[in-house]
Amino acid sequence: MTTITVEPLSREAFAPFGQVISIEGAHHYPINSGMTERFHDLARVELGGVHARPLISIFRGQPYPLPMALKLIERHPLGSQAFYPLSDRPFLSIVAPDEHGTPGTPRAFLVPPRTGVNIAMHVWHGVLTALGDVSDFLVVDRGGDGNNLEEHHFAVPYTVQMPAVGL
């Protein structure tokens, strides 16, 4: 089994896979007579295929213990998928580059509280990986006609673990 060590999330490191959703450094301006601050255009919602429409859902994820075996990875060829935590806990975003139609070596990012990720269309990624406790997530993804799910089962699972020294 190959080991993947969790790494800290940054906009630059995650850019090949999508966008980090965070108000830090985001374009913002006041609305509603100055009573609300709008943090604008934090991620690109991608919709492809026939009769595409955006979906807003809440996912409730059971926590995964670490180290964990990464056996399955998936991608959505017709739309992006954004995850934003509704609880104040970190989670993992596991992603992998595409290598001629199959996933390359995965990377695991520790997503801090009050931060989300938007996984771009066609990007291989692990399942929702809550840490510590049951966690709810606001999810924006694609609905509509067509098959928007491809799964890949690794012949030999990867082991995902935290680094020996804290992040």
List of domains in the chain: 2-161 (2.60.120.480)
Alpha-carbon radius of gyration of the chain = 16
Output the six-digit token pair for 148.
């928007």
pLDDT attached to residue 100 = 95
3 Cα distance to chain centroid: 20
- Return the percentage of the chain with pLDDT > 70, whole number: 99
Question: What confidence tens digit (pLDDT) does each residue in 72-124 have?
Answer: 999 999 999 999 999 999 999 999 999 999 999 999 999 999 999 999 999 99
Q: Is 51 exposed, middle or buried (0-12, 13-18, 19+ CB in 10 A)?
A: exposed
